[in-house]
Amino acid sequence: MKKLLILAICLGFSAITFAQSAIKPAEAGVTYGKEVTADNALNTEALNKTLSTDSVYNGKITGTVVEVCKKKGCFMKIEQANGTPIMVQFTDYAYFMPQNIVGKTVVVEGKAKVKETSVERLKHYAADAGKSKEEIAAINMPKKDISVMADGVLVVK
């Protein structure tokens, strides 16, 4: 009986701890991870031009969030004019994004590069994003696109 009571108390404290560490809603001025300012941020078109001559870009990128991981906010995607979103992950999974960040304009600071994503990884991302089994099964080729490892994210609007 004592073990059951101790377990219940521990679970109660765990629930309180996790409730207090909930992710802040995305509102203008909120920063996740490292403090970020909006100055000198490239838009996605300028980023593409930079990465056509350099293999890596370290700095700030601005864009509109079009998707976020539905499980826990462990990645997000930023819109590009060509329709291919930019995958943004977070250094050491030190922070996560709230679900209401979709549609917000953000500035991301970190390292951007062109990367090839395997079919297995694409299927994993699709599953995390809540895609249907049919959409996941249709993924059969690796994809080259821009990815960002972000140290911090600032919600601009």
Count helices and strands in the chain by DSSP H and E runs: 4, 6
Count of CB atoms within 10 A of residue 1's CB? 5
Is pTM beyond 0.85? Reply is: no
Q: Where do the DSSP E strands lie in the chain?
A: 31-33, 56-68, 75-78, 86-90, 105-117, 143-155
Rounded to the nearest integer, the mean pLDDT of the chain is 84
The number of residues making up the chain comes to 157
Q: Which residue has the higher pLDDT, 12 or 155?
A: 155
pLDDT of amino acid 22: 64
Give the percent of the chain with pLDDT over 70. Answer: 86
Q: How confident is the model at residue 2 (pLDDT cuts 50, 70, 90)?
A: low
Q: How far apart are CA 75 and CA 46, in angstroms?
A: 22
Domains and CATH numbers, the chain: 26-155 (2.40.50)
Q: Is the pLDDT confidence value at 120 over 90?
A: yes
Q: How far apart are CA 42 and CA 15, in angstroms?
A: 41
pLDDT tens digit sequence for 9-60:
655 544 444 433 467 887 878 888 899 999 999 999 999 899 888 889 999 9
Place of tokens 């409730």: 19
Place of tokens 């699709």: 126
